[in-house]
Amino acid sequence: MTFTTDKILERAACNLLCHHLDTADCYANPSWIPRFKTFFGIFEAYGYHKLEISGDQVKKARLDSQQRPALLSPPHNLGSLLRFLSVSMKKRQLHKAYSRGDVEQFAVLIASLFLDRCLLPLSITVHECLEWILNSFREQEWKESCERIAISLAKVERSNVNCLKLTRSLHGRENRMKCLQSLVALQYFWKIANEKTNPGVWNILSVLRRIDVKRKAVDFGSLYYQICMADIWLWSNRNLDAERGGLEAWLFFLKSCSFQISSTDWRPYATKVRNHASYLVQVYQCHYQADDYEET
């Protein structure tokens, strides 16, 4: 399935394996189910490096340009592999072939695939696979595992552009996907701010309110990505709706960016910060019934 050049044979093998996961024999004898080392070996053959959950060092998942030429399409058979992995995770509680640590590593690896532009044709498949991986965690496992996955993903990429791309790719209607996106955004926010992670509405707002956009030495590039990450985290944070003072402070900061930055400001990212702040003001005022939060 993973290395054949015959597409018909590939799909037939994938259908057979997925069907076999639904049989009773699979749960009685799950030894045939490929373990995570086998999956990682296949991904490495495709050109991806292994991602480690434990420890301070997390290697970046990427295509190895020295071993593979530039790809204009997804690695061969990757779609079938992701489909089989999705079905395996769907049945994880029955066959119990994967440990909690295995699933965490799968989540980090699959989420990092969003950074590969050649996988855009498979973006829906990658997204669905990640959802099944996250849903395979037990309730008692989820909270701690979600935090570990978010911390690991924050170490995968250093570029702010890719950090934002990865965070926005973690969208979805599933609560667990939303939770992961929120925690990843929080990790990236503090990473960009170069400060220790300190969750809380007012902790984030205190960092943003220290920035004076009138100064010439403002790094509007970092500010733009901080605003984006703060928006993702605050939007999914239920405490913002309860803490009216926090919402007012957030709107006040956005309005200050919108009003104090001129449309003719030629500093890098200045107009981008201004336009995005203006847009967010409209969104939050519309969602939270702005009349109650207008400054007098």
Alpha-carbon distance 13 to 36, whole Å? 19
Give long-range contacts, CB 8 A cutoff, 24+ apart: 24-30.
26/91, 26/94, 26/95, 27/94, 27/95, 30/95, 30/96, 30/97
Block residue for tokens 């440990």: 99
User: Is the pLDDT assigned to residue 180 strictly greater than 90?
Assistant: yes
Q: What percent of the chain is predicted at pLDDT more than 90?
A: 31
Is 73:118 a contact under the CB 8 Å cutoff? yes
**Greater confidence, 277 or 51?**
277
Neighbours of 130 (CB within 10 A): 28
* Domain coordinates in residue numbering, the chain: 1-194, 200-296
Tokens of 268: 């890098």
What is the model's pLDDT at position 246? 81
Higher pLDDT among residues 104 and 157, named by residue: 104
Q: Residues 6 or more apart from 200 whose CB is under 8 A from it?
A: none
Q: Are 129 and 75 in contact (CB under 8 A)?
A: no
Which residues have CB under 8 Å from 131's CB, separation 6+? 172, 174, 176, 177
Give 56's pLDDT tier (boundaries 50, 70, 90). Answer: very low
What's the pTM?
0.84
Cα separation, 175 vs 193, whole angstroms:
27
Provide the pLDDT for residue 295. Answer: 45
What confidence score (pLDDT) does residue 43 get?
82
Tokens encoding 119: 């996988």
